[in-house]
Amino acid sequence: MKRILVVEDDPDVLDMFETVLKEHGYKVFPLMTGRPVFRIIETFKPDLILMDIRLDGMDGRAIFQQLKSNQQTAPIPVMLTSGGFKEDYIMKDNPDYGDYLEKPFEVSVMIRKIEKLLEASYIF
C-alpha cells in the first residue's frame, strides 16, 4: 500500500483528501501544518507528499525547496496544491515541482496525477 503524506491547513479539505485517497487504496497521514514534515517523513516514510502552497504561517514552496535540498527527502515526489495560483503559472517557473493540483479540482484528475508521480518515482 502506497503512503501519502497530506499537508493541508484547511480541515475540510484535509478530510476530503484523506477520505478520497483512502478510498483509492492509499495509506494517508494527514497533517495540518508544515512544521513537523521532516519528523513525520522519518516515521511515516511517504511514497508521495501532497502539500498546499498556502499553509498557516508557512509557504509550501519553501518546504518543497527544503525537501529537495535534503539528500534523504529529495527523491520523494511532491504535488503542490493551491486555489490561489494557476497551474501554468506554477509549473512554468518551477519545473522541479513534481506536479501541481489547482483547487477546485476533479478527484479523477488528482488520482491520475498521483498515479503518474508514483509511477515516475519508481523508474529511477
Q: Each residue of 31-90: pLDDT tens digit?
A: 999 889 999 999 999 999 999 988 878 888 889 889 989 999 999 999 998 876 655 555
Strand (E) or helix (H) holding 41: helix 37-44
Angle CA 77–52–93, to nearest 5: 70
Give the three-class secondary structure for 30.
strand
Among the listed residues 59, 57, 21, 27, the one whose alpha carbon sits nearest the alpha carbon of residue 43: 27
Q: What is the pLDDT of residue 91?
A: 55
Q: What value does the CA radius of gyration of the chain take, rounded to a whole number of Å? A: 13
Query: What global pTM score does this model have?
Result: 0.88
To the nearest 10 degrees (0 to 180), the angle between helices 11-23 and 107-121 is 70
Q: What is the pLDDT of residue 90?
A: 58
